[in-house]
A and B are shown apart, each in its own frame.
Chain A
Amino acid sequence: MRPGADGFPRAAAVALADPQLRRNLRRATRTIRGNREAAVAEITDWEGLRDQAAWIKHELLSSLDTHLERLEASVTAAGGRVHWARDGDEACALVGDLMHSRGAREAIKMKSLTTDEIGLDHALELRGITAWETDLAEMIVQLAHDRPSHIVVPAIHMSRGEIRDLFARSFGLPGLTDDPVELTAAARQVMRERFLRAKVGITGANFAVAESGTIVLVESEGNGRMCNTLPPTLISIMGIEKVLPRLVDLTVMLRLLPRSAVGARMSSYVTLFTGVHEGDGPSEFHLILLDNGRTRALADPVGREALRCIRCGACLNACPVYEHVGGHAYQAPYPGPIGSIISPQLAGMHEHPTLPFASSLCGACAEVCPVRIDIPKLLVHLRERVVTETDAESVTERVAMRMLLRTLSDRRRYQAGQRALRLARRPLRSQLARTLPGPLAAWSSVRELPEIPQQTFREWWAARASGGTQ
C-alpha cells in the first residue's frame, strides 16, 4: 500500500480537515462508549456470554445451508414466501416487481443496513417508486441526500444544529429550534401520513430463527414496528448469515446486541413475528434471502469469521480511526473496523483494496466485539489477500519488501544493512529527508526521524564482551 493511496487514505485526509465532523464524532462515540461500558459491567458473565455467541455463530456458519433450508420451510409453513437473491440487483428487482404487480408507488422502510448495501432506495427510485426512510436518522440522511456514516447511528456525523437547518429548510419551518423534542415532533408530523398511506412495508432483519420462521427486529423508535404491522404487504430483506438455528439462541443474542450497540439493557422495541395471521398485521409476507458475496466470504476459512457480525457497531465506537473520520471515508456500505473486513469480502478484494490497511491494528475493536471476531487477525489476513490477489501493491513496494526480507534473513546481510544505514546518518538528519518521495516524506511531514546511533546494540555487546567498554 503506497503512501497516500487513493481510497481510504485520501478520503480520510479530506474528512480530517473538517473540525465540525471531528467534534460531532468524538462527542457521540465517547458517549456511546461510556454507556456501553456501564451496561456491560452489569452482566456478571459478559465474557461467557460472548463465548456463547461466538460459538452459536461459528456453528451456524459451518452448516449455513442446512439452517437456511430449515428457515425457508418454517417461513413457508407459517404462510410467508421466501425468495433467494444472488446479488443486490436480483434483490432490488424482486422488491420492485412485488411492488409493481401490486400497483404500489411508495413504501415505508425500517432502518436496514442490508438495503443500504444493495442500494435499494435508489433502485426503486429508478422504477418510479419512493421508499420513505422512517428511522429518524435514516430520514435525516435521506433528506440531506447524504449517506449513513454509522451502522447504528446513521447521522452520527451531523450535529443538532445541522439537523435543525435541514428540517427548517425541508419542511418549511423557519422558526424551528434545535430542541430534540421539537425536532422529533416535526419529523413525526411528516412520517405519520406516510405510515397511514403506504401499502408496502420494507424491513431488514436482525435475526431470523430457522426452527420457527420467526423474524426479529430490534429498534429504539418503534417506527420499524409501524412498517411491519400497518401496510398489507411486508417485505423483509436479510443477509443469509443472519439466520439463527433456535429461538433459545435469542437469549444470548438479545442480551449482547442492545448493550453493545447503544449501552441499553434492552432496546425499546424488540419485535418477533412469524408468518401471516388473518386480521392481524400484513396479509402477505415476503422474505428475501440475500447472498451478495456472502458465500464467497464463507469460502474463505479465515475471512468467514466476519460473517458472525450482528451489526452492533461497538467496534466503530471503540476505533480511534473511525472516531477521527466517521463512516464516509470508508466509501463502502459498512464502515469502521468491521466494514474494513466485510466490505472487501462482499464486493471483492479489488473493490476496496485500501480498507484492510485502514487500521493501526491497535485491537480496541476486538476487545468489544460481542461475537469475538478477531478483527485485527482478519485485517492482516485480508492485507495478505490484497498483496497476493490484486495489483494495489506496486512492483516497487513488492521488491522493497522482498529485499528487506532477504536482508533480515541472514545475519551477515543484516549487519551490513546496519552499517549501511549508519552511513545515512547525516543525510537523514538534514532537511533533504523531508523532500524525498515515499515513506520517508510521509513520515517527516509531521514527525522527526529518529537519530541513527553511533553503535548498534550488538556492537556494544561485542565490545563489552571483549572488555572494550563497560
Chain B
Amino acid sequence: MRAALFITCLGDTLFPEVGVATVRILERLGVEVDFPLEQTCCGQMHFSSGYGRDLLPLVRRFAAAFTDAPAIVTPSGSCAAMVVAHYPRLARRFGDERLAAEVEAIAARVYELSQFLTDALGVEDVGAHFPHRVTYHASCHATRMIHVGGAPLRLLRAVRGIEVVELPDAATCCGFGGTFSVNNAAMSSAMLTDKISHILATQSEVVTAPDRSCLMHIDGGLRRLNAGVRVMHLAEILAADGDAP
C-alpha cells in the first residue's frame, strides 16, 4: 500500500519528530510513504480567523499536491478536518465546481493517522514498546469533526509496557484554538490551567494527543510550571521501540 504524508505546516516547521515518527510507523507496517514537496499549509488559521475568502490559492495548492495520492495520512486531526469538512464548501464558494469535485474526491482519501491505522490498515497493535504512564487528551477537532472516537486509545492500549490512565474531562478543550490563544489570552490560559490540573491529577509521565498544536499549547503551560510531565504526539509513542525517548 502507498500513502502520501500530509505533514502540516506546524509539523514540518516546528515538530519534525512527529513526521519522522509517522513515517517510521507506516514503513514498519509495510506502507510505502511518499512526501509531496509542493505541500505547504492547509490554511486553517486563516480560515478560522475570518480570511476564508483568501484561501483559493492554498486549496488549489493542496489539491495539486495530493490529487494523485491513493491515500493521504496526516498526524493532525485538526488539519484533516480542515480539508475534509471545509475544502469542498470553500471551493464551491469560489465558484470552481471542478476544484470542488477534485477536493471532494481527495477529502474522501484523507485520514488522520489513528484512523488510517485502525480503519484503512485494520491494525491496532503497531508493534510499539513504551513502558511509561500516559494520559490521552482527546483533541476537539479529531473528536468532534472527524470522529476518531476510540481509535487513538485502542492503539495506545495495544502498546507493550504502557500504562494508560484516563484523563478527567479528556474531551474538554485545552483552550488553544489557534489565534484564540492570543486574542483571548486570559480565557485561553484559564482553560489551559484546568487541563493541566487534570493532567497532573493523573500522575502521568507523558500526555499525548492526536494533534501537536494542542500539545504545543499544553506543553507551553507545563514547561512554564516546570511540571515534569512531557508531551508526546500519539505518533511518537506508536513509533517507540522501548528505548528511552
Query: A interface vs B, CB < 8 Å?
Result: 1-5, 8-9, 12-13, 16, 320-321, 324-325, 356-364, 366-367, 380, 383-388, 393, 401-402, 404-405, 408-411, 414, 418, 421, 438-439, 442-443, 445-450, 452-453, 455-461
Q: CB-defined interface of B14-51 with A at 8 Å, one 1/0 digit per residue? A: 11110110000000000000010110110100111111
CB of A18, distance to nearest CB on chain B (Å): 12
Query: B interface vs A, CB < 8 Å?
Result: 7, 9, 11-17, 19-20, 35, 37-38, 40-41, 43, 46-55, 57-58, 61, 140-141, 144-145, 171-173, 175-192, 194, 216-217, 219-221, 223-224
Kindly report which residue of chain A lies nearest to residue B217, judged by CB atoms.
Answer: A447
CB of B188, distance to nearest CB on chain A (Å): 7
Residues from chain A with Cβ under 8 Å of B50 in the complex? 356, 380, 383-388, 393
* Contact assessment for A447 and B220 in the assembled complex, using a CB-CB cutoff below 8 Å: yes
* Contact assessment for A447 and B51 in the assembled complex, using a CB-CB cutoff below 8 Å: no
CB of B51, distance to nearest CB on chain A (Å): 6
Residues from chain A with Cβ under 8 Å of B219 in the complex? 448, 450
Q: Counting chain B CB atoms within 10 Å of each CB, which of A385, A418, A452 scores highest?
A: A418
Q: Counting chain A CB atoms within 10 Å of each CB, which of B41, B180, B187 scores highest?
A: B187
Kindly report which residue of chain B lies nearest to residue A381, judged by CB atoms.
Answer: B52
Contacts A/B (CB < 8 Å), 17 sampled: A3-B182, A9-B185, A320-B175, A321-B191, A324-B190, A357-B183, A362-B144, A384-B50, A385-B50, A387-B50, A405-B43, A405-B46, A414-B41, A445-B189, A447-B217, A450-B216, A458-B7
Q: With the chains together, A439 CA to B46 CA distance in Å?
A: 15
Kindly report which residue of chain A lies nearest to residue B7, judged by CB atoms.
Answer: A457
* Contact assessment for B182 and A443 in the assembled complex, using a CB-CB cutoff below 8 Å: yes
Of the candidates B41, B140, B224, which one forms a contact with A446 in the assembled complex, judged by CB atoms under 8 Å apart? B224
Sorted nearest first, the 10 A-B pairs with minimum C-beta distance are A360-B177, A447-B220, A383-B50, A362-B173, A387-B50, A363-B144, A457-B16, A457-B19, A13-B186, A362-B140
Q: With the chains together, A125 CA to B37 CA distance in Å?
A: 68
CB of B234, distance to nearest CB on chain A (Å): 16
* Contact assessment for B223 and A384 in the assembled complex, using a CB-CB cutoff below 8 Å: no
Kindly report which residue of chain A lies nearest to residue B220, judged by CB atoms.
Answer: A447
Residues from chain B with Cβ under 8 Å of A358 in the complex? 184, 187
Kindly report which residue of chain A lies nearest to residue B143, judged by CB atoms.
Answer: A363
Residues from chain B with Cβ under 8 Å of A461 in the complex? 19, 35
Other than the known A9-B184, A447-B223, A457-B11, what 15 A-B pairs have Cβ atoms closer than 8 Å?
A4-B183, A9-B186, A321-B187, A324-B187, A366-B144, A385-B50, A408-B40, A446-B221, A447-B217, A449-B220, A450-B14, A450-B216, A453-B15, A453-B16, A456-B12
Residues from chain A with Cβ under 8 Å of B14 in the complex? 450, 452-453
* Contact assessment for A388 and B53 in the assembled complex, using a CB-CB cutoff below 8 Å: yes
* Contact assessment for A411 and B46 in the assembled complex, using a CB-CB cutoff below 8 Å: no
Q: Counting chain B CB atoms within 10 Å of each CB, which of A358, A385, A456 scores highest?
A: A456
* Contact assessment for A447 and B189 in the assembled complex, using a CB-CB cutoff below 8 Å: yes
Kindly report which residue of chain B lies nearest to residue A445, judged by CB atoms.
Answer: B185
Of the candidates B35, B51, B178, B216, which one forms a contact with A458 in the assembled complex, judged by CB atoms under 8 Å apart? B35
* Contact assessment for A409 and B61 in the assembled complex, using a CB-CB cutoff below 8 Å: yes
Q: With the chains together, A457 CA to B21 CA distance in Å?
A: 11
CB of B225, distance to nearest CB on chain A (Å): 9
Given A452-B14, A460-B20, decide whether A360 and B182 contact each other with a Cβ distance below 8 A: no
Residues from chain A with Cβ under 8 Å of B173 in the complex? 320, 360, 362, 364
Given A12-B187, A446-B224, A448-B220, decide whether A401 and B13 contact each other with a Cβ distance below 8 A: no
* Contact assessment for A360 and B35 in the assembled complex, using a CB-CB cutoff below 8 Å: no
CB of B144, distance to nearest CB on chain A (Å): 4
* Contact assessment for B144 and A367 in the assembled complex, using a CB-CB cutoff below 8 Å: yes
Of the candidates B13, B37, B40, B192, which one forms a contact with A447 in the assembled complex, judged by CB atoms under 8 Å apart? B192
Residues from chain A with Cβ under 8 Å of B187 in the complex? 9, 12-13, 16, 321, 324-325, 358
Residues from chain B with Cβ under 8 Å of A453 in the complex? 14-17
Of the candidates A325, A360, A408, which one forms a contact with B41 in the assembled complex, judged by CB atoms under 8 Å apart? A408
Residues from chain A with Cβ under 8 Å of B216 in the complex? 450
Kindly report which residue of chain B lies nearest to residue A387, judged by CB atoms.
Answer: B50
Q: Counting chain A CB atoms within 10 Å of each CB, which of B173, B181, B186 scores highest?
A: B186
Q: With the chains together, A456 CA to B8 CA distance in Å?
A: 12
Kindly report which residue of chain A lies nearest to residue B222, judged by CB atoms.
Answer: A448
Q: With the chains together, A303 CA to B101 CA distance in Å?
A: 25
Q: With the chains together, A448 CA to B192 CA distance in Å?
A: 13
Residues from chain A with Cβ under 8 Å of B223 in the complex? 447-448
Residues from chain B with Cβ under 8 Å of A405 in the complex? 43, 46, 51, 54-55, 57-58
CB of B197, distance to nearest CB on chain A (Å): 13
CB of B84, distance to nearest CB on chain A (Å): 14
Residues from chain B with Cβ under 8 Å of A2 in the complex? 183
* Contact assessment for B52 and A380 in the assembled complex, using a CB-CB cutoff below 8 Å: yes
Residues from chain B with Cβ under 8 Å of A414 in the complex? 9, 40-41
* Contact assessment for A360 and B16 in the assembled complex, using a CB-CB cutoff below 8 Å: no
Residues from chain B with Cβ under 8 Å of A13 in the complex? 186-187
Of the candidates A12, A411, A442, which one forms a contact with B182 in the assembled complex, judged by CB atoms under 8 Å apart? A442
* Contact assessment for A442 and B185 in the assembled complex, using a CB-CB cutoff below 8 Å: yes
Kindly report which residue of chain B lies nearest to residue A417, judged by CB atoms.
Answer: B13
CB of B235, distance to nearest CB on chain A (Å): 12
* Contact assessment for A1 and B179 in the assembled complex, using a CB-CB cutoff below 8 Å: yes
Q: With the chains together, A137 CA to B148 CA distance in Å?
A: 41
Residues from chain B with Cβ under 8 Å of A324 in the complex? 187, 190-191
* Contact assessment for A455 and B16 in the assembled complex, using a CB-CB cutoff below 8 Å: yes
Residues from chain A with Cβ under 8 Å of B11 in the complex? 457
Q: With the chains together, A363 CA to B145 CA distance in Å?
A: 8
